[in-house]
Chain A
Amino acid sequence: MSVAATTPRFKANVHDALHDQRLQGALPHARNFIGRRADAAARLPEFDALRDSARAIKDHTLAHLDLYLEAYERKVVEAGGQVHYARDSEEAVAVILGICKARGAKVATKGKSMISEEIGLNAALEREGIAAVETDLGEYIIQLRGEAPSHIIAPAIHVTRDDIEADFRRLHRDLPSDRDLTQPEQLLSEARAILRDRFLSADVGVTGANFLVAETGTSLIVTNEGNGDLTQILPKVHVVLASLEKIVPTLNDVAQILRVLGRSATGQDMSVYTTLSTGPRRAGDPDGPEEYHVVLLDNGRSATLGGPFADMLRCIRCGACMNHCPVYHAVGGHAYGWVYPGPMGAVLTPLLIGVAEGGQLPNASTFCGRCEAVCPMRIPLPKLMRTWREREFARGLGSPLARGAIRVWSFFAKRPTLYRLAVEPAMRLLSLIGRGRGRFAWLPFAGGWTRGRDFAAPEGATFQSRWRAKSGATQ
């Protein structure tokens, strides 16, 4: 089930995004993260050492994931909670619907969770007559707009303040129409007031998890709004929905990774709220849910362990890769066509929906390497994208024209003498044709280039022919 992907029509999505003036007006916001991250990293001399340490923690955990999952489950049960393993989206949705129905739930509040997007939870809840209410401000806004997140930590980054005001006036109809909504703070208070009622009326609260701690059976979320706290404390049932690679061994480990998470994501030393939950309300607790469930989603992740994409399981969803990506900056997150955008999405999407459907994304990269340079978990994102290209090539997927072109090029590149015979006359001819202007405004098979750019004409004789002529063909 999950969400339908438009990833196969990525190029058309790109075209639409580039011509969407409203979107283009909102996109520059994503670049604001760059300076903040750089400053935060520079303020912490041990930042790079912490990245190494964070990587080591995750690598160790993934190498022993079975043990840590079992340890985590034991602790959750000891604390009075339940763990549900879900192999795929359908199973995860079924478990959550079962929990909601058992309680006769009408309203479910939700903290921000990309896994919820991955399994299409909101639509499934709505189909069963359960109102799903997103409580993260960004998520709330895009829910009102009927959109998906365009960024994994800033879901409404593609929306402008004007858009939000218009949406609020359109949908919050019982409020005075002449109210002042010109300041972002006013929009925030209005959303807060509306969400406050929903928090109080919710039967079930669903949150994601940034980390699941094996040592204590604790789930941990970071937010900047505190909405996660209200989501998990007020309803009678708290459901933690997370993918299984979120496990880390100890609270100490979490403390280390948190030091790179906030800095990499928003440039904050720490998120405003770091909220831990362990089991349901205990006797004597002032508040908390009566039931505590953890739904652990696999969706193909366990099959990734030990394979060429295993590095991707270290990802802590900070968003730094997309914040620094020229492709993301140009088109935003929706163009990627499924749940996860940016470089991490370019690796993860083919893993989760298959390379036949998701294969465009790992190809749509210049390999500029900035994502890898800023990834707190040192995930070699370009290398993983290249591995997808190799898979595609081996399976004969992708554009036949591009495959043919690379085959022909390689045929000659492997045969230097033949290559010379082919390229010398070609360059001389092109040079002759192009000499007058020095460049071409159109070239066959290069329309992708020449539609927006000229192409410089070759100088004439190649370096190698001139060099050999000069040095008497001695080399």
Chain B
Amino acid sequence: MSDSQAAKTQLRVGLFVTCLVDLLRPSVGFAAVKLLEDAGCKVIAPLQTCCGQPAYNSGDRADAQAIARRNIEAFAGCDYVVAPSGSCAGMLAKHYPELFADEPDMALEAAAFSAKCCELTSFLVDKLGVTNVSAAYAGVAAYHDSCSGLRELGVRDQPRKLLASVEGLKLVELEESDVCCGFGGTFAIKYGELSDAIVARKSDKILATGADTLLAGDLGCLMNMAGKLQRQGRAVKVRHVAEVLAGMTDAPAIGEPAPEKAK
């Protein structure tokens, strides 16, 4: 196959980087890019902000619709739209059509867009047939199933399958891995005390595994769990699953200080 043919058959994947990854932990975005490129995709990242979920879940439907319209437009040229988050991918893939339920034309457009949207690990495994990654990680990791990815998109086995191919990594099962960590977006701040009580239990379950690393596919949940573990003075390293799968674990774990520069 010539190069031009290869370019034609190469999938154009729009990376929906998510606002949290964009602002707080870009290294997850670059890990996603590496995984997608390793799998043969052409990755593009159009100018973007957020999936609109904070507005949508706060009852601000008009703003959620406006944000959704922009995203549908921005990713128009992509074969797929992939997000390193089950929650944001769930918003794009499951809730956009519902957002335009009263506008038949737009609802159709939204449905076509939604059909292209995937969460990162399930895209790699289910759509591209990736079975192993070339990465190594020395550690024992517990995996938390974030709610939206698990229940809206069926993301459960895909990240585990890929993690099984990471050299040196031992994956242990986390009891109640399918139970919410208490993040819930703005819930974590609006109902902080409740959210904190829920993540305290999650922290207990994580510690009970004896794992030195906690992985999940959603930065919001990861920041919540990392924040609790660190407030409690625990040494568990918390990372997005994409970082480990891409072998990009040089950056400090979530909430860990940057290494001091050589003196």
Contact = CB atoms under 8 A, between A and B. Distances in A.
B58 A389 contact: yes
Contacts of B44: 475
Interface stretch (A160-168, A172-180, A277-285, A456-464): A456-464
A326 interface: yes
B187 interface: yes
Interface stretch (A113-121, A200-208, A230-238, A409-417): A409-417
B205 to A, nearest CB: 12
Contacts of A445: 189
A413 B63 contact: yes
A367 interface: yes
Given A364-B187, A427-B24, A370 B151 contact: yes
Interface string A415-457: 0110110010001000000011111010001111101111111
Interface stretch (B106-114, B117-125, B160-168, B190-198): B190-198
Contacts of A85: none
Q: Chain A at the B interface: mostly helix, strand, loop or mixed?
A: helix
Interface string A115-141: 000000000000000000000000000
Contact of A453 (B33, B58, B61, B224): B224
Interface centre among A364, A398, A438 (most CB of B within 10 A): A438
A369 interface: yes
A364 B57 CA distance: 11
A74 to B, nearest CB: 39
If over half of B's interface residues share one DSSP class (helix, strand or loop), that class is named, otherwise mixed; here it is helix
A466 B49 CA distance: 15
Contacts of A439: 226-227, 230, 255-256
B227 A454 contact: yes
Interface in B41-74: 44-50, 52, 54-61, 63-64, 66-67, 70, 74
Contacts of A436: 257
A462 B22 contact: yes
A171 interface: no
B223 interface: yes
A453 B199 contact: yes
Contact of B147 (A369, A403, A435, A451): A369
Contacts of B59: 386, 388-394, 398
B223 to A, nearest CB: 5
Given A326-B180, A393-B59, A463-B29, A448 B193 contact: yes
Contacts of B85: none
A467 B23 contact: no
Contacts of B223: 455-456
Contacts of B148: 367, 369
A412 B196 CA distance: 29
A466 B27 CA distance: 10
A447 B55 CA distance: 21
A103 interface: no
A182 interface: no
B21 interface: yes
B227 A366 contact: no
A327 interface: yes
Given A364-B187, A370-B151, A463-B30, A456 B46 contact: no
A369 B193 CA distance: 20
Q: Which of B193, B198, B231, B256 has the most CB of A within 10 A?
A: B193
B258 A410 contact: no
Given A453-B199, A458-B25, A438 B191 contact: no
A21 interface: no
A463 B83 CA distance: 13
A102 interface: no
B22 A463 contact: yes
B128 interface: no
A391 B59 CA distance: 7
Interface stretch (A11-19, A51-59, A217-225, A266-274): A11-19
A427 to B, nearest CB: 5
Given A416-B48, A458-B23, A448 B255 contact: no
A368 interface: yes
A407 interface: yes
Nearest to A456: B255
B63 A453 contact: no
B179 interface: yes
A335 to B, nearest CB: 9
Contacts of B189: 445-446, 448-449
B30 to A, nearest CB: 7
B182 A366 contact: yes
Given A406-B60, A453-B228, A464-B17, A367 B147 contact: yes
A407 B193 CA distance: 24
A475 B61 CA distance: 29
Contacts of B179: 326, 368, 370
Nearest to B230: A454
B58 A331 contact: no
Given A327-B198, A389-B59, A451 B193 contact: yes
Nearest to A411: B63
Contacts of B55: 406, 409-410, 413
B231 A453 contact: yes
A463 B199 contact: no
A438 B200 contact: no
Nearest to B219: A456
Contacts of A365: 184, 187
A330 B199 CA distance: 10
Contacts of A188: none
B251 interface: yes
A416 B58 contact: no
B171 interface: no
Contact of A389 (B49, B57, B254): B57
Nearest to A419: B49
Nearest to B17: A463
B75 to A, nearest CB: 11
Contacts of B192: 447-449, 451-452
B193 A462 contact: no
B53 to A, nearest CB: 9
Which 7 A-B residue pairs are closest in the complex by CB-CB distance? A448-B192, A366-B184, A393-B59, A389-B59, A453-B227, A452-B196, A368-B180
17 contacts: A18-B193, A330-B198, A363-B191, A367-B57, A367-B184, A370-B180, A392-B59, A410-B54, A414-B49, A427-B24, A436-B257, A438-B255, A454-B230, A456-B24, A456-B226, A459-B24, A461-B26
Given A413-B52, A459-B27, 8 more contacts: A363-B190, A389-B57, A390-B61, A398-B59, A413-B54, A416-B47, A438-B258, A458-B25
